[in-house]
Amino acid sequence: MEDKIKLLEPIGEVLINKDDIINLLNTKTFPIFYDGFEPSGRMHIAQGLLRMQDGIFIFWIADWFGLLNNKMGGDLNKLKNIDHYFIEVRKAARMKMHNVKFLMASDEINKRPNDYSLRVLDLARKFNVVDQLFYACMQCNDIFFLEAIGQLFYQIHFRKVNMLAREYADKSTDAYKSIIMFHYMMMGLFEGLPKMAKLDLNLNIFMEDSAEDVKKIIKYAYWPTQVIKDNPVLDNTKEIIF
């Protein structure tokens, strides 16, 4: 058990309730975990890191969420095409695919529209959600819709949405209280960028970049001498290599 916990600890910056995950590992041989993200173009190196060794892992391609946020110009067909790109990049990175599923949100929701919409409405009703927070209810509902026990890899700035899911489980009779682990967000490589972002394609390293591309980015990255804390290059090196 301790070995399993040690495998998970380097992944997450914050683990909500360690006792829950110990109980999970004791009772479930193949727990379902998922990572949800909006398709928005090329795969960043931080997204390409293999994070899960055991269990059933779902990559939830949130194309409808991307549509709401006007990703890829709001073109749903382009958003769907990114799904195939992500799968090929994962294969090229030698991900073990036998327990991995890539699910497109629009396809899966259309298979069970009543299940999805009724849960979203129930979330909104239980927490008196106004229209502008309906998006958060959709994010929260993904956990229950996928029947995921663990949502281990969501970015820490989505903490409120994830905690909403746990609070909802306390109020519901048919919702499992999921386990949540927030992963670390690597620093942006250039001064003034607090974390990795896709604001400028020239300021990031992507999974399909060549060695020359990576060298060029590193050459111009912010790398203060004799400074360890808040040093972007050292931070990225630690997370990717070590």
pTM of this structure: 0.60
- One-letter amino acid for residue 178 of the chain: S
Measured distance CA(134)–CA(143) in Å, rounded: 15
Per-residue pLDDT of the chain (242 residues; tens, 9 = 90+): 667 666 666 666 666 667 777 787 777 767 777 777 777 777 776 666 555 454 567 888 888 888 888 888 888 888 888 878 888 888 887 777 777 888 889 999 999 999 998 988 888 888 776 655 777 778 788 888 887 765 555 555 567 777 788 888 888 887 777 777 777 778 888 876 656 655 555 678 888 888 999 898 888 888 888 888 889 889 888 877 76
Residue 206 near residue 43 (C-beta atoms within 8 A): yes
Residue 82, CA distances (Å) to 22, 86, 117, 163, 199 in order:
35, 6, 25, 29, 18
Identify the bridge partners of residue 102 per DSSP, sorted by sequence position. Answer: 59
Q: Reduce the secondary structure of 103-165 to three states and give it as a string.
A: EEHHHHHHHCHHHHHHHHHHHHHHCCCCHHHHHHHHHHHHHHHCCCCEEEEEEHHHHHHHHHH
Look up tokens 């009543």; give the residue. 114
Q: Reduce the secondary structure of 13-57 to three states and give it as a string.
A: EEEECHHHHHHHHHHCCCCEEEEEECCCCCCEHHHHCCCCCCCEE
Residue 88 near residue 207 (C-beta atoms within 8 A): no
Measured distance CA(191)–CA(156) in Å, rounded: 21
Architecture of the domain whose range is 2-183: 3-Layer(aba) Sandwich (3.40)
Q: Where in the chain is the domain with CATH 3.40.50.620?
A: 2-183
Measured distance CA(186)–CA(181) in Å, rounded: 16
Measured distance CA(101)–CA(17) in Å, rounded: 26
Residue 52, CA distances (Å) to 38, 143, 145, 150, 151 in order:
20, 17, 21, 11, 11
